[in-house]
Amino acid sequence: MAELQWVQVARLEDIPERSPLAVFVGPWAIALYRVGDQVYATDDTCSHQGASLSEGWYEGFTVTCPAHGGQFDIRTGQAVRMPAVSPIATWPTSVRNAVVFIGVPGDADSGRR
């Protein structure tokens, strides 16, 4: 497994509760979710039909896809409501001094779009 590089992607205040934030790190589109002062990160693409999860909403630890209502646990990536059945990838996060970092393999550049 490749060593993780920690990439700064947002400030904690940039991530509203219940509304995911899309960030792009290298080739990856990632959705960030804030639950209190904890941040979770998943792939931004729904495994059902490819909709952007950052255009959906979440409550607690469950994100709802805006296209067909499939749901995922943002902690594990597991599908928890049909029509989604396949999991999505999750990413390790770290919050330091109100700055959010994501652990990605290799040498990736960051940026929000």
pLDDT band at 113 (very low <50, low <70, confident <90, very high): very low
Buried b (16+ CB within 10 A) or exposed e, 15-53: beeeebbebbbeebebbbbbbeeebbbbbbbbbbeebbb
Which residue's structure tokens are 């999505």? 88
Domain 4-98 has CATH 2.102.10.10: yes
Q: What is the 3-state secondary structure (H, E, C) of 7-22?
A: EEEEEHHHCCCCCCEE
Token pair for 5: 């590089």
- Averaged pLDDT for residues 75-86: 96
Closest among 13, 15, 65 to 44, alpha carbons compared: 65
Q: What percent of the chain has pLDDT over 70?
A: 93
Question: pTM for this structure?
Answer: 0.90
**β-pair partners for 5:** 104
